Structure 1
């Protein structure tokens, strides 16, 4: 299916300006991920590097604290998108879901850790997310039959953490 220039520009804007992952940007614009990946690659070959523009756009936003907040916001968007996918895709085995959640929590912790020197208030959230990661691993190894229930309550609990610490 051929897409017009406006659709390609929408994917580019979602990726650069809105800081969505390329997969989410493609879905939002209604194109296949492979198509968006090809557009990004073609653009880079012609000198339009979406990743550099994305970084520049983020840095142009203001003070270092603003950049840290944008970084955290981007991670939260990815977190929410992944949680939605895990909740909706019933074909993903429960054990794989827990591994994905653990990996997601690890990435979140690393993002928080990088920003906590800039924004000390994120330190408490980092600790809370580390506990969630440890709990996910504990449930996966000690209580595998409860993995699905754990995954089900994790999303609303993440919202509680954000309200409490964010």
Structure 2
């Protein structure tokens, strides 16, 4: 299905100016994610790199702290999507899910710590995420039978942590 040119322009603006993720743009404009990725790739080949434009727009208007926060926000979305995929996959056993969750939490924690060095106001969030990571590791090692319950609680709790510590 061909989409009007203004839909492509709206998609680019949503991506660059409001930092929407591809899945969000897809849902908002009723355009398949694959089509959006193709548009983005075609634009890059033509000299219009949406990612560079996005970074420039962020730096221009908001400065380093906001840009670091945006990176954390993007990573958080990926983290949540991956956690959801792990949660929904019936082929992954509970003890393996706990290990995957601990690994994801570790990656998230490292990213937040690095961001905290760049933007000190984010340091509190880094500490909170370290506590969550350590809890995931503790449960995986000492109480693997509670992995499913922990997994069920972790995602909504992560949302609460972001609300409390967001800059």
- How far apart are the structure 2 equivalents of 1:39 and 1:124? 38
- What is the aligned-residue RMSD (CA, Å)? 3.0
> Which residues of structure 2 form unaligned runs of 5+?
none
> Which residues of structure 1 form unaligned runs of 5+?
none
Instruction: Say if 2:113 and 2:126, in contact at 8 Å, map to a contact too.
Output: yes
Q: Deviations over 1:88-138 (max 9, x none)?
A: x46573556545544543343233223323432322321221221233244
1:107-118 equivalence runs, <5 A: 107-118=107-118
Distance 1:62 1:154, change over 3 A: same
4+ aligned runs moved over 6 Å, structure 1: none
Bigger share in helix: 2
Instruction: Say if 1:94 and 1:147, in contact at 8 Å, map to a contact too.
Output: no
Distance 1:157 1:35, change over 3 A: same
Q: Deviations over 1:41-90 (max 9, x none)?
A: 11111111111111111111233333333333333444455556666x46
Partner of 1:61: 61
How much does 1:17 deviate? 2.0
- How far apart are the structure 2 equivalents of 1:15 and 1:107? 25
* TM value normalised by structure 1: 0.75
Q: Secondary structure at the match of 1:62?
A: helix
- How far apart are the structure 2 equivalents of 1:97 and 1:11? 35
1:39-58 equivalence runs, <5 A: 39-58=39-58
- How far apart are the structure 2 equivalents of 1:94 and 1:33? 30
- How far apart are the structure 2 equivalents of 1:86 and 1:117? 30
1:1-166 equivalence runs, <5 A: 1-82=1-82, 89=88, 91=90, 93=92, 95=94, 97-98=97-98, 101-166=101-166
Q: Deviations over 1:2-24 (max 9, x none)?
A: 32223323332232222233344
**Bigger mean CA deviation after superposition, 75-84 or 145-154:** 75-84
- How far apart are the structure 1 equivalents of 2:13 and 2:103? 28
- How far apart are the structure 2 equivalents of 1:16 and 1:63? 15
